[in-house]
Amino acid sequence: MCDVSVIIGAYEAMPYLVRCLESVEGQSIGADRIEIVAVDDGSTDGTGEYLEEFAAGSKVPMRVVRQANSGGPGGPRNVGLSLARGRYVFFLDADDYLGEEALERMVAMADHAGTDVVLGKIKGVNRNAAKSMWAKNVERADIYASNVKFTLSAQKLFRRELLVRLGMRFDETMHTGEDALFTMEAYLRGNGVSVVADYTCYYLVGRDDGKQVTKSGSYTLRFHSARVLMELIAEHEPPGPKRDQLMVRPFLVTLLPQFGPVVLKQKEEILLHKLELAAPLMDAYWTPTVARRLGGRERRRLTCVAWGRPDLLKEALLAPVVKPKVPFGRRVLRRLRRDVRRLLLRARTAV
């Protein structure tokens, strides 16, 4: 048994796959402690051929599966997971690459802390990446109060024993949000979450060839992904502050964008349909505690959604952003400080 099975689901991944695989082979943890399980999901650009060529010459044990296109990332990941033999698994997207010490540092953290999930610091390359959770290393993060709940992508280190014991797999019927569902379940049912923040473990690459694998499709898929994530949270957390802290994530990340400025450009019937899809979620999970955890503008927009008022929602979207009034300008503050210093000096002189 090796330490880490690196699972790579690849679709039309050339030439980015080259650096991806090189980053795994060059890991400081050593080739004898890792394996690669790569699944070509029906590529036509030479991805499958390159995987086989790399496997033939790599010092890292590597298995390659070539299959017909499954329609999403969940299928290849599940295939890779079924073949993995490591104590841990790491899901690496074929467009991206690892920092040289990534696996060594994440395995060391998991072994030391005894946790089942480890987040390694992510840096965006030609694209944005999450930043709020990388302030410091954390052996055991509070999944409720901390920002780790906002990073639910699959690019993390998972203890394989947890996944096997719980029979965890990616939901292949979902075309968006399947990784959030998988990761949140591991957060909730696993033995803790750690954060490696003092080293860039993962480079999230923005492709410049127009083939970036992004979450697309009908807006109805977004509402479905929000619903199943909310149901998962509700299944494992009873009503109360902890549930509300976790519910902030699907409300803020998944639902709120559906009621952003885009609705001002869409047909009225689409907005009404969105409100219809949101209604049962708002009825079930929108609480005063959740509302208080959002910013003012976000809270107002979602309150309009909860009320089913498209007219008020549009007014909220069109309202100008009002900056808080500052009672004193900088010049006035400087003058006040200067006058205070003069008064203090006079007082000392008088004494």
31-54 confidence digits (pLDDT tens): 999 999 999 999 999 999 999 999
- pLDDT above 70: residue 286: yes
Weakest mean pLDDT among 63-77, 83-97, 225-239, 318-332? 318-332
Can you list the alpha helix ranges (DSSP code H) found in the chain? 16-25, 47-57, 74-83, 102-113, 160-166, 178-189, 219-236, 241-249, 268-285, 288-292, 296-307, 310-318, 330-350
Per-domain residue ranges of the chain: 4-205, 219-318
Weakest mean pLDDT among 192-201, 248-257, 304-313, 335-344? 335-344
* Cα–Cα distance measured from residue 7 to residue 133, given in angstroms and rounded to the nearest whole number: 24
Weakest mean pLDDT among 9-13, 23-27, 204-208, 247-251? 204-208
Weakest mean pLDDT among 102-116, 117-131, 172-186, 335-349? 335-349
* Cα–Cα distance measured from residue 96 to residue 18, given in angstroms and rounded to the nearest whole number: 10
Please say whether the dihedral angle defined by the alpha carbons of residues 188, 118, 162 and 192, taken in this order, is positive or negative: negative
Band (259; pLDDT cuts 50, 70, 90): very high
Phi/psi class of residue 8: alpha, beta or left (left: φ > 0; alpha: ψ in -120 to 50)? Answer: beta
Given this model, what pLDDT does residue 187 score?
Answer: 98
| Average pLDDT score over the chain | 92
- pLDDT above 70: residue 217: no
Band (132; pLDDT cuts 50, 70, 90): confident
Average pLDDT over residues 211-239: 86
Average pLDDT over residues 120-138: 93
* Cα–Cα distance measured from residue 333 to residue 339, given in angstroms and rounded to the nearest whole number: 10
Would you state the structure tokens that stand for residue 320, as one six-digit string? Answer: 């100008």
Determine contact, residues 133/151, Cβ cutoff 8 Å.
yes
Q: Residue type at 243?
A: R
Between vectors from CA 316 to CA 248 and to CA 229, what angle results, nearest 5°? 20
Weakest mean pLDDT among 130-134, 186-190, 263-267, 273-277? 130-134
Given this model, what pLDDT does residue 322 score?
Answer: 61
- pLDDT above 70: residue 337: no
Mean pLDDT: which of 29-33, 325-329, 334-338 is highest? Answer: 29-33
> Which architecture, in CATH terms, is 4-205?
Alpha-Beta Complex (3.90)
Average pLDDT over residues 177-206: 97
Band (262; pLDDT cuts 50, 70, 90): very high
Q: Is the pTM of this model over 0.75?
A: yes
Band (341; pLDDT cuts 50, 70, 90): low
Please say whether the dihedral angle defined by the alpha carbons of residues 27, 33, 39 and 45, taken in this order, is positive or negative: positive
Among 115, 228, 246, smallest CA distance to 182 is for 228
Choice among 93, 96, 179, 244 that is catalytic: 179
Sheet holding 157-159, edge to edge: 62-67, 34-41, 4-10, 88-93, 157-159, 117-125, 193-205, 97-98
Using CB atoms within 10 Å of the CB of residue 295, give its burial: 0 to 12 exposed, 13 to 18 middle, 19+ buried: exposed
Q: Tell me which residue has tokens 């992004």.
A: 214
- pLDDT above 60: residue 336: no
* Cα–Cα distance measured from residue 112 to residue 209, given in angstroms and rounded to the nearest whole number: 41
Catalytic: 179?
A: yes
Contacts of 165 (CB under 8 A, 6+ apart): none
Band (326; pLDDT cuts 50, 70, 90): low
